């Protein structure tokens, strides 16, 4: 548009406004009709960037001894996000979380409340297998907690399920005990966003202590109830 055209347009606009006693003018800016696609792409690229950031972690014993980075599995647009502890041998081999014995039990636990594993999003506190499947050290939990918080912000779940004491400690610190905290809805604030959170036992713990499964079942039923109350579609 030339300056002349613009002047003509302004004159026309003010004449129209005077004639019709209106208080708005027509804008010649195009309307952005493509709002949803860039947001979706943005989530994917944020996840890729986070994955890269973790892949490039330096001076990390976990990374140095692991075969593969184990980032996540499932549906990144899910409203349900599960956090475990860290990859075991099978997960390290396959580069995918919860594919060993604990994973098989997790799948059954989810099925029991009518959830397909593929419809939710799964990750771990640490993304490389700790040597000999040891529990991650407090310093490692702390270091990876920064990535986990970013991960949660990107996925932005309506329900966050923390499985086991490592996942609990990563977001709530070490002063609380899982035996006391499991089964209660809690809130965790990450980047000014509040996430509804359920702490529950880790499936690997249930394999070692099957008598504790009754508590997990109670927690699972609460999770199902909340999914229905919040009308979350899976
Ligand atoms: N245990 C975990 O915490 N995560 C896995 O991915 C596998 C076993």
CB atoms within 10 A of CB 79: 19
Q: What mean pLDDT is predicted for residues 162-182?
A: 98
Q: For ligand 1, is residue 204 a contact (CB within 6 Å)?
A: yes
Q: Is 91 in the pocket of ligand 1 (CB under 6 A)?
A: yes
CB of 136 within 6 A of ligand 1: the answer is: no
| pLDDT reading at 119 higher than 70 | yes
pTM of this structure? 0.84
Apex 167 CA angle, 72 and 156, nearest 5: 55
Report how far Cα 99 is from the mean position of its chain's Cα atoms: 19
Closest protein CA for atom 7 of ligand 1? 98
Answer whether CATH 3.40.470.10 is correct for domain 44-229. Answer: yes
DSSP 21: T
Weakest mean pLDDT among 2-6, 115-119, 155-159: 2-6
Regarding the beta carbon of 86 and ligand 1, being less than 6 Å apart is answered yes
Alpha-carbon span 210 to 212, nearest angstrom: 5
pLDDT of residue 6: 57
- Which position has the token pair 């939710």? 120
* pLDDT confidence of residue 18: 62
Q: How confident is the model at residue 87 (pLDDT cuts 50, 70, 90)?
A: very high
Mean pLDDT value across residues 85-90: 98
Query: Three-state SS for 40?
Result: helix
> 85 C-alpha to center of ligand 1: Å?
6
Instruction: Decide: 124 in ligand 1 pocket, CB within 6 A.
Output: yes
Residue 8's pLDDT band, with cuts at 50, 70 and 90, is: low
> How many other CB atoms are found less than 10 A from the CB of residue 167?
27
């Amino acid at each position: 548009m030339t300056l002349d055209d613009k002047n003509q347009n302004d004159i026309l606009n003010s004449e129209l406004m005077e004639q019709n006693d209106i208080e708005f003018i027509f804008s010649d800016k195009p309307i952005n009709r493509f709002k949803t696609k860039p947001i979706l792409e943005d989530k994917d690229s944020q996840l890729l960037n986070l994955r890269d950031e973790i892949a490039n972690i330096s001076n990390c014993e976990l990374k140095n001894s692991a075969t593969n980075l184990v980032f996540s599995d499932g549906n990144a647009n899910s409203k349900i996000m599960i956090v475990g502890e860290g990859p075991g041998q099978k997960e390290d081999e396959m580069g995918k979380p919860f594919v060993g014995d604990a994973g098989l039990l997790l799948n059954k636990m989810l099925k029991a409340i009518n959830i397909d594993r593929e419809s939710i999003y799964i990750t771990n506190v640490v993304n490389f297998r700790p040597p000999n499947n040891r529990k991650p050290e407090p310093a490692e939990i702390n270091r990876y907690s920064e990535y986990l918080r970013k991960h949660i912000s990107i996925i932005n779940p309506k329900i966050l399920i923390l499985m086991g004491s490592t996942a609990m400690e990563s977001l709530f610190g070490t002063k609380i005990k899982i035996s006391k905290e499991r089964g209660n809805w809690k809130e965790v604030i990450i980047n000014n966003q509040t996430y509804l959170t359920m702490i529950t036992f880790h499936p690997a713990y249930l394999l070692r202590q099957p008598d504790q499964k009754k508590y997990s079942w109670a927690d699972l039923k609460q999770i199902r109830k909340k999914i229905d109350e919040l009308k979350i579609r899976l």
